Amino acid sequence: MPEQKDYIYYDHTISLCVVCHRRISAKIVFADGKVWLHKFCREHGRQEVVIATDIEYYRQIRNFNKKSEYPIRPHTETLYGCPYDCGICPDHEQHSCLTLVEITERCNLTCPTCYAESSPVHGRHRSLKEVENMLDAIVESEGEPDVVQLSGGEPTIHPHFFEILDLAKARPIKHLMVNTNGIRIAQDKGFAEKLATYMPGFEIYLQFDSFRPSVLQKLRGRDLSEIRNKALEILNELNLSTTLVVTVEKGLNEDEIGDIIKFALKQKCVRGVTFQPTSVSGRLDNFDPQTAKITNTEIRKNIIDQSEIFSSADLIPVPCNPDALIMAYALKMKDEVVPLTRLIDPEMLLNNSKNTIVYEQDKMLHQYVLKLFSTGNSPENAAGTMKHLLCCLPEIVSPDIGYDQLFRIIVMNFMDAWDFDVRAIKKSCVHIVHDDGRIIPFETMNLFYRNGYQAKLNSLRNIPI
């Protein structure tokens, strides 16, 4: 009698060895109610990794898709095969919804978890000329970039920080963000007041991982509770648009997800929360991926279980990059919070919608929905889009939505060697501009393209799959 395997074989892809990062063949299988990558490296043996804990949701991801949008031109050739040709190479399937410019490698913290390995003594600040060239590379690639995020290291410690903001503002960038740990904002109100003059089209992306000092100590090497409170107090006073960014680890802070959403909804300046599973790259002290790495579907379930506002119908895959991104919208009213995603027919976001013909007749509505569910649409721009959209929907009296009333939840996974899937990486839409002008997916930058990684990449490029 043939023996039955204890899993269902679903698909096949190319992944990476978790040890040596060479490309290896991987099966995607369903077992124990979870989605697994089963892979084999001829040097490091068999590897089994959970990539989703909700099989039905994972199946649905494949239907949330849309025609790829491509940058104005590729920056590299396809020579070695994905992911060794970044980028953007002609084989990539998504333009940059959001591009990071790392204006410095330095930071005023030395977080045990830092993909850029920043610290007060690591690397250097980039010169104004280098930053200008990087901004120009993004504009050359995108024309009018949707969202550009100044990042690092800690961008606010750059000695020419405001000159860099001016350089960015002088370019046709639709929405500019500053990714920060909040220390400078908390300690220098004048600095924050000057930041507020860059609104509209400007937002703070504020690290906010936990209410518990022990968690902050583990993730950031320091109890930043007071810094976070002070920074938010100032940002609220200025009503400076802010997204809270939460790094999530299993068994560490996943139980705080509901409380963080509740807290965020009460802050005048906060337009949303982004949850990011820790990705295995850079400096990762005291992190064991086997036990601490969390999946997008686990975070999604925690949001549903812990928040009184969002249900399963509210948290849906984002069509431009559905494997990596989950999104939900809500409206902050005076006394209540109204979840909005459930009002939108998911058919409008499916690439195999049986209603395609209907939506062909109403392309505007279809485009509004696609635009809304994109990382390239900032909460500020999304308010206008949402207003138009609700006006188009029957049975809904559209309220007058201002951008400070729209609240957005994003779950954003950056794949690493553990959960790497070549099919999904081609849809990556969060990119980093390299200092040589290439535009590189965030995930592959951290695996292969940071300065100093060239020798490793060269050796990998010549190993056959």
Q: Which residues bind ligand SF4 (CB under 6 A)?
A: 82-83, 85-89, 91-92, 107, 109-111, 114, 116, 118, 152-154, 181, 425-426, 441, 444
CB of 69 vs ligand SF4, minimal distance in Å? 14
Could you give the CA distance from residue 427 to residue 277 in angstroms, rounded to a whole number?
18
Residue for token pair 């990062």: 21
CB of 392 vs ligand SF4, minimal distance in Å? 35
CB of 432 vs ligand SF4, minimal distance in Å? 12
CB of 249 vs ligand SF4, minimal distance in Å? 14
Cβ-based nearer residue to ligand SF4, 272 or 441: 441
CB of 227 vs ligand SF4, minimal distance in Å? 11
Cβ-based nearer residue to ligand SF4, 87 or 317: 87
Q: What stretch of H or E contains 393?
A: none
Give CA angle at 160 (154, 164), nearest 5°: 85
Cβ-based nearer residue to ligand SF4, 112 or 384: 112
DSSP structure string for 147-185: EEEEESS-GGG-TTHHHHHHHHHTS--SEEEEEE-SHHH
CB of 201 vs ligand SF4, minimal distance in Å? 24
Cβ-based nearer residue to ligand SF4, 284 or 340: 284
Cβ-based nearer residue to ligand SF4, 383 or 430: 430
Cβ-based nearer residue to ligand SF4, 222 or 250: 222
SS3 (DSSP) at 316 = strand
Residue for token pair 């309220």: 399
87 prior amide bond cis, ω within 30? yes
CB of 85 vs ligand SF4, minimal distance in Å? 4
Cβ-based nearer residue to ligand SF4, 92 or 332: 92
Cβ-based nearer residue to ligand SF4, 342 or 427: 427
Residue type, 21: H
Cβ neighbours of residue 36 under 8 Å, at least 6 residues apart?
7, 28, 29, 30, 48, 49, 50, 51
Residue for token pair 């925690």: 302
Cβ-based nearer residue to ligand SF4, 85 or 254: 85
DSSP structure string for 104-140: BSB-S---SEETT--BTTSS-BPPHHHHHHHHHHHHH
CB of 282 vs ligand SF4, minimal distance in Å? 8
In the chain, % helix, strand, coil (3-state, to 5) comes to 35, 25, 45
CB of 156 vs ligand SF4, minimal distance in Å? 10
Contacts 24+ apart (CB under 8 A), 335-340: 337/265, 337/309, 337/407, 339/309, 339/310, 339/311, 339/314, 340/314, 340/386, 340/390
To the nearest 10 degrees (0 to 180), the angle between helices 379-392 and 363-372 is 150
Q: Are 369 and 344 in contact (CB under 8 A)?
A: yes
